[in-house]
Structure 1
Amino acid sequence: MKKNIVILATGGTIAGKAASSTDTACYQSALLPIDALIAEVPALQDIASVTGEQLAQVDSADMTHAVWLALAARINTLLASPAVDGIVVTHGTDTMEETAYFLNLTVKSAKPVVMVGALRPANVISTDGPMNLYDAVALAADDAAAGCGVLVALNDTINCSRDVTKTNTALQDAFKAPELGYLGYIQAGKPYFYRRPARKHTFAAEFDVAGLVALPKVEIIYTYVGNDSSLADAAVAAGAKGIIVAGVGNGGMSAATRQNLTDLARRGTVVVRSTRVSSGIVTRNSAICDDDCGFIAADTLNPQKARVLLMLALTRTSDPAQIQRMFFEY
């Protein structure tokens, strides 16, 4: 019997159109409705019973927390029904990794949820959207995807939403998990898994956003030669409850920045050390003594994903010890 898969559309390049069939760089995102995307891939109905809903229609640079909360709510409602076996979310690629990780922590089901997008608009030569959509539905309809958390499927690959990041501005193989690698591949509509996510997610996560209308304000501060603490001070003055530091190397920062952020942490701002480096662990009490400064180490989360986890953590606690536990568990 075919699985029942619902596609929730939010826009992005997969729904975009260019002025000509050869222009893959200059185009308008988020134009085509979900019904048009489904109609372009009639083979979808061969692998699942597919329906679609237009939840948003935006370039992913314009993605908002409000859409995140609406997505989580709708996915949880749909997956609570025995009539729905899995979800596919179409999304722009620029912020896909952030939305995917947010859903990975807020969806309350073991049923498959798959994020998908495209690096080329729908009407150009060699657009990747239709095949990506086909693969995503095939993955969401496969029993092996259950219990894996929110997955990201592009370019015939399966990625863990915690680990994946966009590594190139335009190439079709842009989505990778540096060092940790893919979870698997999709060939001829068949998923092949070679590893599974190791960290807690979805049904095992402690976060509950039901009824939330906003998320705590968390800002990212980038470090570089000669930077000072003015941006962190401004963020806190503007209402930030947390600061993510995109540090140098193993989450390092200048002595002056460290002192200022230590002062902010002692006054109640939650400070998390991530890194501007593309891969590797930010180790607790290594480049900086987190115990002395009151900081939290981001482990392997990049700055944008550390921000997602910190926002959700702050809906439950502001205790640095508890938030550090979350960074080690999720």
Structure 2
Amino acid sequence: MTRRVLLLATKDTIAHRHGSIATGAELLATIPADRLAADVAVEDVLAEPGWDMSPGTMLALARRARAAIAEDGFDGVVLTHGIDTLEETAYLADLLAGPAAARGAIVLTGATRSLDELSSDGPRNLAAAIAAAADPALAGAGAVACLNDELHAARWVTLADAAGVAAFSSAPHPPLGRVTGGKAGEGVELLAAPPPRPPDPHGDPETDIALIKTYPGIDGALLTAVVDAGARGVVLEGTGLCNVPASLLAAISDLTEWDIPVVVASRCRTRPVALDALPLGTGMAGQVGAIGARDLAPAKARAALMVALGGGGVAAARDYFDRL
């Protein structure tokens, strides 16, 4: 039985060519028919460039991908996306997939070279992504990124090289798998177990979340300023084991009392532990109410806080991150 895949095309580099932008159908036409591993339906999506993708658009894409599997009966979804923020949209789609993740894969792909460049990587990446989305082996894995024939779990994937075709990495984790070819009948070879599934989402995600990079001497007034401007939550990019300057501790305490969650992530790789589980002298922000991002990168912690706030304020966010 032929598998059915929905292609959601948001344009960006994978569709760029001199003087024009390819539609989803034109992108699909770059793949020879005998290299298509599924029956593919196409929807063109009006979206900002990947480097300026709005939270509202990311949420709309995540919801459409989930509905395509859960309601429309597609076996998988492929989403073409600019590489700059592909990992954020992938993780948001993963967090919102809910039970649909058990029924089919959501695969994001893109390109570092335009469609009319010599040796463009777009058509191959698209063919591989379709093969991956059509393969039942990925059911239960949630959202993944597929580029350069590699599959990366949304929780682990990061853009490591914006100029090369091997642009994404899961380090320090291994790639989830690889696509053994783009021909019909070929598909996914799994190389590692996927990360645990996140909690099922509740309520509508909050889109107004501030992400602030901390630095020595930062003024705590920056935190209250973004809240005054409308932010419903704040993610701080700290250092080391989720450390932030002491100048922020009073503001973190105040925001927590106002039911505005403050999540602390690190610019470094960290272990998936809570702030209060860190050694004495680190993670001080946890003592004044901050929530640890565990091993999430700052941008992904922002996506997780968006979803967590669908269930309430600080208490709901703390419970959500404890279960990630």
TM-score over 0.5 for the pair = yes
**Which of 307, 315, 321 is the matching residue for 2:310?**
315
1:226 corresponds to which residue?
217
Instruction: Letter of the 1:308 partner, please give it.
Output: A
**Which of 175, 182, 187 is the matching residue for 1:182?**
175
1:194 corresponds to which residue?
191
Distance 1:323 1:65 in 2: 18
The question of 1:168 aligning with 2:165 is answered no
Matches within 5 A, 1:63-74: 63-74=53-64
**Which of 82, 102, 113 is the matching residue for 1:120?**
113
Distance 1:125 1:219 in 2: 40
Matches within 5 A, 1:51-130: 51-81=41-71, 83-108=73-98, 109=100, 110=102, 111-130=104-123
Report SS of the residue matched to 1:11.
coil
Matches within 5 A, 1:1-330: 1-18=1-18, 31-43=21-33, 46-81=36-71, 83-108=73-98, 109=100, 110=102, 111-189=104-182, 190-201=187-198, 205-208=199-202, 212=204, 215-278=206-269, 280-281=271-272, 283-285=274-276, 286=278, 287-320=282-315, 322-330=316-324
Distance 2:283 2:172 in 1: 24
Query: How much is the aligned-residue C-alpha RMSD, in angstroms?
Result: 2.1
Number of equivalenced pairs: 313
* 8 Å CA contact 2:176, 2:191 repeated in 1: yes
* 8 Å CA contact 1:9, 1:90 repeated in 2: yes
* 8 Å CA contact 2:5, 2:41 repeated in 1: yes
* 8 Å CA contact 1:44, 1:137 repeated in 2: no
- Deviations, residues 51-73 of structure 1 (Å, cap 9, x unaligned): 21102243112212222232233
Moved more, 293-302 or 276-285: 276-285
How many angstroms does 1:199 deviate by? 2.0
Moved more, 215-224 or 282-291: 282-291
* 8 Å CA contact 1:250, 1:281 repeated in 2: no
How many angstroms does 1:168 deviate by? 1.9
- Deviations, residues 24-44 of structure 1 (Å, cap 9, x unaligned): xxxx8xx21101100111246
- Deviations, residues 62-107 of structure 1 (Å, cap 9, x unaligned): 2122222322332233213564211111111101111111111112
1:173–1:278 distance in 2 versus 1, CA, 3 Å: farther
TM-score, normalization by structure 1: 0.88
Instruction: Letter of the 2:287 partner, please give it.
Output: D
The runs of 5 or more residues in structure 1 that have no matched partner are 20-27
* 8 Å CA contact 2:86, 2:108 repeated in 1: yes
Moved more, 267-276 or 89-98: 267-276
1:133–1:280 distance in 2 versus 1, CA, 3 Å: same
Distance 1:318 1:83 in 2: 35
- Deviations, residues 99-143 of structure 1 (Å, cap 9, x unaligned): 111111112412111111111111101111000001000001111
Distance 2:271 2:163 in 1: 24
TM-score, normalization by structure 2: 0.89
Report SS of the residue matched to 1:244.
strand
How many angstroms does 1:282 deviate by? 6.1
* 8 Å CA contact 2:206, 2:232 repeated in 1: no
* 8 Å CA contact 1:118, 1:129 repeated in 2: yes
How many angstroms does 1:278 deviate by? 4.6
Distance 2:244 2:71 in 1: 49
1:169–1:291 distance in 2 versus 1, CA, 3 Å: closer
1:228–1:83 distance in 2 versus 1, CA, 3 Å: closer
Percent of aligned positions that are identical? 33
How many angstroms does 1:242 deviate by? 1.0
How many angstroms does 1:283 deviate by? 4.4
Distance 1:267 1:44 in 2: 59
Report SS of the residue matched to 1:56.
coil
How many angstroms does 1:307 deviate by? 0.6
Instruction: Letter of the 1:191 partner, please give it.
Output: V
1:143–1:64 distance in 2 versus 1, CA, 3 Å: same
Distance 2:297 2:261 in 1: 17
